[in-house]
Each structure stands twice: as structure tokens, then as C-alpha cells.
Amino acid sequence: MTICGASTSSGIISAACLNLPLNICYKPENMYLCGVIPSPKEPCLTELNHYRRPIVDQLSVAWE
């Protein structure tokens, strides 16, 4: 706890459709939320790969 209270943060893994025009492809309504990275600290690169692997596997199956 700090003087001003507890603080936490989390991250997201998102995807954008690049076939859309640039002025709308990054709007929230056109983004896909792939995953949420839990807090309280940022994961290192090897830990981040564990979050991305299931997403990549699902996209590979969808591509085929």
C-alpha cells in the first residue's frame, strides 16, 4: 500500500484488421481482444510467449 492507495495494472493482447482504412482500423469497435495479461508486474519476454502461444495456435488452425 502506498500513501495514495494500492495501484495495479494489466495489459492486453489485441488484434486489428489491417484491411480497414487506417482512420478506423484502430478504433475500439474494430479491435479484437485476444487476451489479458494479469498484473502486478510486466512479464518478461519468455513469460509473454506463454500468453501468445495459444493465440497463435488458434489463428493457425483458423487459417487452415
Provide mean pLDDT across the span 3-20: 82
d(CA 36, CA 18): 21
Q: Is the pLDDT of residue 10 over 90?
A: no
d(CA 48, CA 32): 18
Per the rule left: phi > 0, alpha: psi between -120 and 50, beta: everything else, 11 is beta
pTM beyond 0.75: no
Q: What percent of the chain has pLDDT over 90?
A: 42
